[in-house]
A and B are shown apart, each in its own frame.
Chain A
């Protein structure tokens, strides 16, 4: 998959995203993952970090929103192919002329966009329930960071989904992957607190760069160069992810057809 494919099928991507959001609005697990869990984490963090002063509230809003984004990517996007399999729609989707990864890109777009609601709700909780005065220091940088982060998350999700399909053993670790990424990506506290050997792992995770860019745009004193570098890393990882995802989808579909296991888990 490449950027040209995305541009060619943009209409399909939008329709898939719309349908996905409509379907998921009624799913209790998804509503919990996208809305309730990040809000509970935001509440906890606002209480725990209140000693850090009011300036820290916006950090919590962004950080708890990122936890929602990651959980959504892991559990919902991660199962986006398996979900089609469970509902018996995988075979027709694979058979249509539209590349299958385009469909999954649209589903991931829906998941990531609906997860942004958690950031909005976190903002409402911090502003109205806790009475914090929340300001985004560099709104334009924040907007661009958000757009690039969405792209980076979707691209990362395109790798996770086929990996979970091809390796049920890896998917078994799905539950265990949620909090380590919260830890390693510095969503709610700096990664400098963690042991030094974990830092290179953080650098390899696109959500870490999303956190650097989004936190940087909302807090005072961040140099623009730091935000630009995070943007660059997200774009770089997105391109790599798209390239790897393209190969993974080809391999996955070839294996499924060769082994006749498309509909089987």
Chain B
């Protein structure tokens, strides 16, 4: 019981402090610019491009896809920088020097970004309804909320893996940006998965977001939670697999770095 409460405290403090540390420059304007305005401008761009490519009747396809995709801002950039930032700010040796439970420490880095990512998606949907006329009248809103939560968790799983990789690469932002933009193609946010070549479809289904976006589109189209449950379970499973691979790598990098004395070597 004592170990459990200790780990819970560690999880909570770790998650809160790493989030605050990530936004040590936090000013309301900067937060709004990076986490609200930028993703929304990106969403509007792809919605206008998509409706120009097809027709205004297809706006919903692009609004939903890009609104859900916004979770990758927190899931990829936020989580990666939370983990990778430990090395950049010189706190990695202290982190690895503590006896703290590594599983709790590792997954704690993603928790606040899950909440933050969900908030971003909700804001995007709100703008979609208010400014772009997205119709949610047939939508099971509770199921949509669950879909947003599952997709955000799943994307943060990939973020944890990317964060782990950022411990062994100098070009963190290159890798982050690359993955983020590739998700715009592979997740089906803007191009229907069926239109992609087979090898790209295989990659799409191995990534988070793909099934989450498909589930959200079905729900907005009037499907029930039971209809999309298989998609959500698989989406969650994909995210957990990425998170676990990230954790295994995190433990392995710690072991190797300690053995070779390369904790802070770039």
Q: Is the pairing of A and B real?
A: yes
How many of chain A's residues have a CB under 8 angstroms from any CB in B?
32
Closest to B37 in A: A176
B51 within 8 A of A: yes
Whether B42 and A48, one on each chain, are in contact in the complex, defined by CB atoms closer than 8 angstroms, is no
Residue B8 CB within 8 A of the other chain: no
The answer, yes or no, to whether B44 is at the interface (CB within 8 Å) is: yes
In the complex, the chain A residue whose C-beta lies closest to that of B54 is: A51
* List of B residues within 8 angstroms of A10 by Cβ: none
- CB contacts under 8 Å to A, within B177-218, are 177-178, 181-182, 184-185, 190-191, 195-196
B229 to chain A, nearest CB (A): 30
> Using Cβ atoms and an 8 Å threshold, which residues of chain B touch A86?
none
How many A-B pairs have beta carbons closer than 8 Å: the answer is 85
Query: A169 within 8 Å of B by Cβ?
Result: yes
CB distance B29 to A32 under 8 Å? no
Contact yes or no, B37 A51, CB < 8 A = no
- From B27, B46, B52, B173, contact of A193 by CB (8 A): B52
Q: Of A38-46, A95-103, A133-141, which stretch is located at the interface?
A: A38-46
Known: A172-B29, A182-B45, A189-B52. A44 touches B185 (CB 8 A): yes
Write out the residue numbers on chain A whose beta carbons fall within 8 Å of the beta carbon of B29: 169, 172-173
B210 shortest CB reach to chain A, Å: 15
Of all chain A residues, the one with the shortest Cβ separation from B34 is A175
State whether the Cβ of B21 lies closer than 8 Å to any Cβ in chain A: no
Residues in B with CB closer than 8 Å to A190 are 52
Residues 2-38 (chain A) with a chain B CB within 8 angstroms: 28-29, 31-32, 36-37
Residues on A with C-beta less than 8 A from B185 are 40, 43-44, 47
Residue A180 interfacial (CB < 8 Å): yes
Mostly helix, strand, loop or mixed at chain B's interface? helix
Of B49, B177, B196, the contact of A48 (CB 8 Å cutoff): B49
Instruction: Name which residue of chain A comes closest to B171, CB basis.
Output: A28
What residues on B are CB-neighbors of A51 within 8 Å?
53-54
Q: Given the complex of chains A and B, what is the CA–CA distance between A45 and B49 in angstroms?
A: 8
Contact code string B32-65 (vs A, CB < 8 Å = 1, else 0): 0110011001101110111111100000000000
CB distance A32 to B178 under 8 Å?
A: yes
Q: Is the CB of B30 within 8 A of A172?
A: yes
B30 (CB) vs chain A CBs: closest residue: A172
- Within 8 Å CB of A193, what residues of B? 48, 51-52
How many angstroms between the C-alpha atoms of A43 and B184 in the bound complex? 10
Interchain nearest-CB distance for B195 vs A (Å): 7
Cβ of B266 within 8 Å of any chain A Cβ, yes or no, is no
- Chain A residues near B30 (CB-CB < 8 A): 172
B94 at the binding interface (Cβ < 8 Å): no
**B41 interface neighbour in A32, A40, A180, Cβ under 8 Å:** A180
10 contacts between A and B (CB under 8 A): A29-B171, A29-B173, A32-B173, A32-B174, A37-B177, A40-B182, A47-B185, A47-B196, A48-B53, A48-B190
Contacts from A to B (Cβ < 8 Å): 28-29, 31-32, 36-37, 40-41, 43-45, 47-49, 51-52, 169, 172-176, 178-180, 182-183, 188-190, 193-194
Chain B: residues with CB nearer than 8 A to chain A? 27, 29-30, 33-34, 37-38, 41-42, 44-46, 48-54, 170-171, 173-174, 177-178, 181-182, 184-185, 190-191, 195-196
Top 6 A-B pairs, shortest CB-CB distance: A28-B171, A28-B174, A179-B41, A176-B37, A189-B52, A176-B33
